[in-house]
Structures are given as structure tokens and as C-alpha cells.
Structure 1
């Protein structure tokens, strides 16, 4: 388990380097740290489906998800994106008290290496698609804040009910 890097840490804005040898001891340790850190965060905060290596201070293209698909994705690359989009309130381990309204593709196709270095292909829709887009953004140095629909769509988690109530009144 590793500490989560928080908003403002330069590692979160770094475009990560590709992994050369997926089965190396260093990469396997990073995968274990990601899995354990995700599990710990989820047990303490009550949410969390995925984590990216920069969030534990590692500038490599590795993410770990535990939602519909469970396991590491090494050097993930989005091959195709649906034309359809949807909006949601996104959250992040690196700024857990904030919510950000973003638009994401309803479906994506991703190619990646698994923990053994075997090439895999994954078709993701809905919530898994959104999660993978979020985590892949992390390894490209992009945060959900950068994808906000507008500055007023960045709010404190505790203000969500009030924000949605005000938004309904504006319609």
C-alpha cells in the first residue's frame, strides 16, 4: 500500500512512460501496490473502482481497476471511441472532496498488456468505459478537473444535493 498523491503533486501532471517489461519485479510490485491501495481507499472512503500509477507516485503507464473487469492494464491505449457521449459527476482519489461534471464516451475499445505481458483487447461500455477513460487520462497527465464541463461544474462533494437543487430551479 502506498499513500495517494493529492492535487498539486507534479507527478499527477506527468505523461507517464511506457512499461518495457510487464513481468518485471518492479512492475509486479507496482501492480500489487495499486491493488492494495485501491482496496484500502475503498474500505476507508466507501468508494473507488480504479487507480493509476501516478496516484501512488509512479510515472509508468499502469492502471488497476476492480469493476466489471478486475486487474491491471499495462500500457493501455484507446483504439476506438463511440460517437455517443454521456455526462456524470466524476470523483477522484487525488481530490476526494471534489466532484467534477464531465462528458465521457459511452463506449471505448482498449488494448493493453495484462500482468503476464499478454496483449488483451477490451470493449467497455457505460460505467466501465467512463472509469477506463478517467484512469487513462491519469497516465497522460490529465485530471478530471481538466475535463469539467465548465468551472461551475466543480463542486465540493458535500454540496452535490444543494447544487442539483439549484440547477433544477434554473430550468
Structure 2
């Protein structure tokens, strides 16, 4: 079990944009890193974690909601519909929570842990979690939604 260090706001590295994972990447290294991301996420009682939050600026996300482990590499939102609001927290901004309005239903394209192209439809909390973690890949934090929600 390897627990990675989570960047805490206002660390400027949280604002870096993550690079796409290339098909030339070492799959074994990606698998080890993803396992460490899950270990870290569970250790801190999170439901989602982006590589950006552990200072690796690659487009990799881990999510586990209701024992449904998901790995999203290079995720792209293709379709979005409706709105939903959830109270969100963030492992990089401890003890801060904010109601955020996000798309209720999304469809994404991504690569799985074996770098195979996949599609996923998500709604409600899973949709919000995916959008939250994708935001991290672009240097966007939940505090940036304060102005949008007013």
C-alpha cells in the first residue's frame, strides 16, 4: 500500500493542466500509479482523485462510488444534459464544502487501464464526481465555482 501526498490549496501545482496519456506509456507503471491513487483516495476517505492532486500532471482519474471502481484516462465529455446540485468537498481543500450545479447526465469517452477506448454514461453523483475530477485535470477547483453559483 502506497499513500501519495495530496497537494493542498493554494499549492500552485493544482492549477497546472494535465497532459494526455500517450499510447506509448508503460502500462505497468500506469497500473502501479493507479493502484497507489486508489490507496490514497481510500486512505483519505475520498470518492474521486485526479493525478493532478498528487502532483502528476497526466489525465488520470480514479473513482469509487458504491464499490464501483472506475479508472478514466484522457476523459472527454461528449454529451451533457440537465442539471443537478450536490454538496461537494475536495481532498485538496480540506474541510470546505460547496453546493455546485453540474450536468445531471453526461456521456464520456476515455481510455481504460489498458488504454482501450471506452464510453460511459453517468448520472447524478457519478456524473458530478467525474466532472469534479475532470475540472482538476484543467486546473479548476471547486472554489472557482463560487462565482458561477451566485
TM-score by length of 2: 0.90
| Structure 1 segment 141-152 matched on structure 2, within 5 A | 141-148=139-146, 149-150=149-150
Q: Which secondary structure state, in structure 2, belongs to the residue aligned with residue 146 of structure 1?
A: helix
- Provide the rounded CA distance (Å) in 1 between the counterparts of 2:85 and 2:65: 19
Q: CA deviation digits over 1:49-101, x for unaligned, max 9?
A: 1100011110000000011541211101100110x112222110001210122
User: Of 23, 38, 41, which aligns to 2:41?
Assistant: 38
The answer to whether the 8 Å contact 1:102/1:147 transfers is yes
Secondary structure of 1:134 counterpart: helix
1:28 match: secondary structure? helix
Alignment coverage as a number of residue pairs: 144
SS in structure 1 of the partner of residue 36 of structure 2: helix
Where does structure 1 lack aligned partners over 5 or more consecutive residues?
A: 43-47, 151-171
RMSD over aligned Cα, in angstroms?
A: 1.4
Bigger Rg, structure 1 or 2? 1
Deviation beyond 4 Å, 4+ runs, structure 1 = none
The structure carrying a bigger helix percent of its residues is: 1
Contact 1:87 / 1:104 at 8 angstroms: preserved in 2?
yes
What are structure 2's unaligned runs of at least 5 residues?
A: none
Distance 1:80 1:140 in 2: 18
Q: In the aligned structure 2, how far is the partner of 1:4 from the partner of 1:144?
A: 16
**Larger deviation, residues 115-124 vs 60-69:** 60-69
Secondary structure, in 3 states, of the residue corresponding to 1:97? strand
Counterparts in 2 of 1:50-61, with a 5 A limit? Answer: 50-61=48-59
